Chain A
């Protein structure tokens, strides 16, 4: 029996688009179909909270590749259609319009959706915004900003980036973070404090260690006020919620595939079911040489999974080797990070946060394992090399901002393996 597609990808985001292209660039000859719920060919999300929200680029600029690319390379994209059901036995998917499609290999590239405030706390008010898709940002862009009072709930990267854009559009911004510091899960206190001060200096009312305890509504159902745990009340014109992402793994779970806060995969992106794979934000990698399983939410991670799986399907077994990396733009500040920060790491600070140009190296047993570089691409670049090569450095020498990081590190270096 011939299947409708040799490879069917569920989801049409970054991971899906990169996977299809990576397969074609490896001359993978089977038929490829992408079924995506959003009304767009695959696009890149990072600019949504940056240049796109600022109005500097258009939707078409976010497309990974132009719409005609997919036709030219024999990739059938169905946009605006969701997969409602998966049958592993029959090797079919049922679409939300009732059609059934057969496949030989199946990839979940379903990403995630914003974590919502519980409905008991917050009704779906018209002036509440969650930010994940182009449609979400278009809705936010239609709102008047100058002088309006925005409350941003959640001090992660997306919330902070949006706060910075809103300030440049003359909005009044209050940012509420329940944890004691911003970016608490992903970076060190030094970097958290840097961003708290940066936002405060640009006029954001930053409230850390503070939660919203009650929302107040108008008769029309809009949120008009937020009562905070410190007892204060803030008037709300628009409420933005950025409290994290939930992986879209339910479809896979229903089909009988192993999930646990994400679809479980090995280093080749294989799930517990034969010929079924998962990539990108939804995939949780379990075999990491003794490290705990992890699911990352970043574009480089999505691209890397796409590459690993394309290699695997083309008969080359090459697990990912690059350390994870990430970046964020807030005001005129660029943060670049690589590696994963662990609470007990030793910190080496190069440069001075007050000058808005510094970097933090994270060492474990003397080996550089992560970096956060602010306004310092040179340190970021050097640290990425040190992390990849597991270089042992002397903390004192590496901290000397008078020496270039790579030279300083090599002056004290040894490699662990």
Chain B
């Protein structure tokens, strides 16, 4: 099972392992990772699943759809070039070791 690390604004690192095929948002909420809300259940309607992808991983993720890009406009914390909505990222074996930062706030 691939492992993913969510680093909190405090610097605390939370590493979880999960089945491939799940969205990162689901993985985070099922492990009670603080700061990932996922209010709309992955429907690209809420932007409360915002993460900053650690730089080495940015290019390894599947590209954003136009819809995801538009919804990044509504995140509570200012998005950067490393921002993604993690409900749109499906876990694969290739993503083992993926490392992300959770924003201060999602709303």
Residues of A at the B interface (CB closer than 8 Å) are 21, 24-25, 44, 46-47, 64-66, 69, 73, 299-300, 303, 321-322, 325, 327, 336, 377-378, 380-382, 384-385, 406
Contact = CB atoms under 8 A, between A and B. Distances in A.
A299 B48 CA distance: 14
Nearest to A304: B39
A25 B38 CA distance: 14
Interface stretch (B4-12, B70-78, B86-94): B70-78
B86 to A, nearest CB: 16
B71 A377 contact: yes
A65 B29 contact: yes
Nearest to A27: B32
Contacts of B71: 377, 381
B73 A381 contact: yes
B37 to A, nearest CB: 8
Given A299-B40, A336-B45, A377 B34 contact: no
Interface of B: 29-30, 32, 34, 37, 39-41, 43-47, 67, 70-71, 73-74, 107
B39 A46 contact: no
Contacts of B30: 65-66, 69
A409 to B, nearest CB: 13
A384 B39 CA distance: 15
Which are the 8 A-B pairs with shortest beta-carbon distances? A381-B74, A377-B70, A381-B73, A25-B32, A327-B45, A378-B70, A65-B30, A44-B41
Contacts of A406: 73
Majority-rule SS of B interface residues: loop
A377 B39 contact: no
A377 B44 contact: yes
B70 A46 contact: no
Contacts of B37: 303
A46 B47 contact: no
A46 B42 CA distance: 11
A198 to B, nearest CB: 19
Given A303-B39, A336-B45, A385 B74 contact: yes
Nearest to B22: A66
Identify the interface centre among B39, B44, B67, B107: most chain A CB within 10 Å of its CB.
B39
Contacts of A73: 32
12 contacts: A25-B34, A44-B41, A299-B40, A300-B39, A300-B40, A322-B107, A325-B46, A336-B45, A377-B44, A377-B71, A381-B47, A381-B70
Given A25-B34, A73-B32, A303-B39, A325 B74 contact: no
Contacts of B107: 321-322
Contacts of A303: 37, 39
A299 B73 CA distance: 22
Contacts of B39: 299-300, 303
A21 B32 contact: yes
Contacts of A382: 73-74
B29 A325 contact: no
A377 B29 contact: no
A73 B103 CA distance: 25
Given A46-B43, A300-B40, A327-B43, A378 B73 contact: yes
Identify the interface centre among B44, B45, B74: most chain A CB within 10 Å of its CB.
B45
Contacts of A336: 45
Contacts of A381: 47, 70-71, 73-74
Contacts of B47: 381
Contacts of A377: 44, 67, 70-71, 73
Given A303-B39, A377-B71, A378-B73, A325 B45 contact: yes
Nearest to A376: B70
A336 B34 CA distance: 27
A327 B41 CA distance: 12
Contacts of A64: 29, 41
